[in-house]
Amino acid sequence: MKANEIITRIREGDERVISQTYRRYREEFIRWMKKKYASSDEEGRDYYQEAFCRFLIQVQSGKLTHITSTIKTYLFGIGRNVFGEQQRKNTRFDREIDEEKIADHYELKLQKEEKEIEYQLIESNLEKLDKKTQDLILMFYYQNRSMEYIAEKLNYKNAASAKNQKYKCIIKLRKTLESYKIRRAGR
C-alpha cells in the first residue's frame, strides 16, 4: 500500500491500518531517537507517541491528505520537530520564570485557564450525546467532512437533514456555555 493510500484509509477510520502503521515504525523510531539524540527508550516511546498522534490528528482532520515522501520520512520529521520543541521548552523554562517576576502574566494565565474550563465543558457535553450525533459533530467540526459525506455515512435522509441535526446540537452546546458564563458572572 502506498503512503497516500494509507493516509486515505486512516482518514476513513480504518483501525487496522492505524494500528499497523503505528507498529511498523515504532521500534525503528525509538532506535533512531536513541542513536541521533541519545534519548532513553522511555523518551523515544514518548516522542513516538507524540509524533504519531500529531500525524493521526493531521490526517483525521483532513489537513494532511497526501504526501510526497514516505510515511516513515514524514513521521520521523515530526519526531525531529517534537524533539526540538521539547529542547526549546526545557531551555526556555528558567527564563520564563524570570520574565514572570518582572511582568505580571497573572491575568493572562487566568483567562487561558478559564478558556480551558470552557473547552472542557464542551467536551463533557459531547460525551453525553448519542453516538450518531457525536459522530455527526466530530465529522463536521473535527474531520472537516462535507454534509453530503456525513449524511451518507451516518444514514441521514439527506445533507439538509444532517445539517438540521447539527444546528440543533450546536445551539444546545452554545446554550450550555452561555449558562455556565452567566453562573460564573453571578459568582
Partner 1 sequence: MKEIDHILIQRYLDGDLTEKEKVEVESQLHLPSIQEYLEAHQTVTKGIQQYGEAQARRQVQQLEAEAVQEETNVPSTTKWLLRGVAASLLLLMVAFPLYWFQDEQRNGRIFNEHYQAYQALGGATRGESDADLLLPQAFTAYHEQDYAQAIELFIEVSTQEDRPYVWLYLGNAYLSNEQPAEAVKALQRVLEYPDVNRKTELRAHWDLGLAYLKLNNEDSARRHFEILQDTEDYGERVQKILQSIY
Which residues contribute to the site for partner 1 (CB under 8 A)? 1-2, 5-6, 9, 16-24, 26, 45, 48-49, 52-53, 56-57, 60-61, 70, 72, 115, 118-123, 126, 137-138, 141-143, 163, 167, 170-171, 173-174, 177-178
Chain center to CA of 51 = 12
CB of residue 37 to partner 1, shortest distance in Å: 18
CB of residue 106 to partner 1, shortest distance in Å: 22
**Dihedral-angle region of residue 62 (phi above 0 means left; psi in -120 to 50 means alpha; beta otherwise):** left
CB-nearer residue toward partner 1: 92 or 168: 168
CB 117 within 8 A of CB 99: no
How far is the C-alpha of 35 from the C-alpha of 29, rounded, in Å? Answer: 10
CB of residue 105 to partner 1, shortest distance in Å: 22
CB-nearer residue toward partner 1: 39 or 60: 60
H or E stretch at 99 = helix 71-102
* The three cell numbers locating residue 118: 470552557
